[in-house]
Amino acid sequence: MTTELFNSEFESIAGELKSYILRITASIADAEDIVQDTYIKASEKLHTFRGESSLKTWLFTIASNLTKDNLRAQKRWTENVTDITKEAALLNKQFFQEAMNIRTTSPQGQFEVKEHIAFCFTCISKSLPLEQQLCVFLKEIYEFKVAEIFEILNTTEAMVKYYLHTGRTKMMNIFEGRCALINKQGACHQCSELNGIFNPKQNTQHEIMKIEMAREANNKDKEHLFDLRMSILKEIDPFKSNASALQLHHLEHNRQVMEKYLEKKAV
């Protein structure tokens, strides 16, 4: 493969790489750095690429290894991350001032319920063991086949299937117990609460019922509702959506809060 062709192909894949790394690390800076490091490493090793896998699979392999190295020393987040970060946000006037400024001045500052569903999944998925989190995103969002995933993660087909099953099952159980959009007993109402803050003139229930997952919550099993949640994530680019500026600001807040929380808990 020529350098010119590689650069063209990399540019077409870079957006997916960046969103993938963001969803694994919850860090804008890390996503940008790892994409750049992936390009540098791939450029240096381009002579070793034989086309036995797709270039996309090869690049995701490099990016996944760099991401795992980046996260190896970090503790996983807790399942109740949204509770912890919500409490911190309510005590942080600067956070809300910055958020409202983004909401009123940025073309990517909208608040949409479906965007927050994707945001919420990113945060809660960080409670999974890293291998489970990687497998869930690679399969469910970036649509790699199992054979490609065990190549990317340098493991076995059996382990990929195990990580997918356990990761999906844990996430389904978390949302079934927490998410008020899919279970009337759900404890988390942040989609509605935040919509009320950022879109005070909007009918929250009307907006929620635009989401297929919410419409079908009473009639479908949790496997189907999980798949509907994944379909929402697939259609959203966290760096380019109408709500990206607002949600990235929110994500950075959550990352900082959780890092401090885990440090304090470890003492």
What are the tens digits of pLDDT across the range 140-183? 999 999 999 999 999 999 999 999 999 999 999 999 989 999 98
Distance CA 219, CA 155 (A): 37
Residue 51: its pLDDT value, please? 80
Residue 57: its pLDDT value, please? 96
DSSP 3-state of 239: coil
- pLDDT of 76-87, one tens digit each? 999 999 999 999
Amino acid sitting at position 187: A
Distance CA 119, CA 100 (A): 18
Distance CA 260, CA 216 (A): 38
0.85 surpassed by pTM: yes
Distance CA 169, CA 64 (A): 23
Judge whether 191 and 181 are in contact, CB under 8 Å: yes
Residue 265: its pLDDT value, please? 87
In sign, the C-alpha dihedral spanning 140, 146, 148, 154 is positive
Q: What residues does 188 pair with on adjacent strands?
A: 179
Judge whether 39 and 56 are in contact, CB under 8 Å: no
- pLDDT of 114-133, one tens digit each? 999 999 999 999 999 999 99
Residue 1: its pLDDT value, please? 78
Sequence-separated (6 or more) residues with CB below 8 Å from residue 57:
144, 148, 151, 152
Residue 219: its pLDDT value, please? 84
How confident is residue 38, by pLDDT bands cut at 50, 70 and 90? very high
Residue 225: its pLDDT value, please? 94
The structural domains of the chain, ordered by start, are: 1-74 (1.10.1740.10), 75-266 (no CATH)
Q: What residues does 179 pair with on adjacent strands?
A: 188
What whole-number percentage of the chain has pLDDT above 90? 85
Summary mean pLDDT of the chain: 94
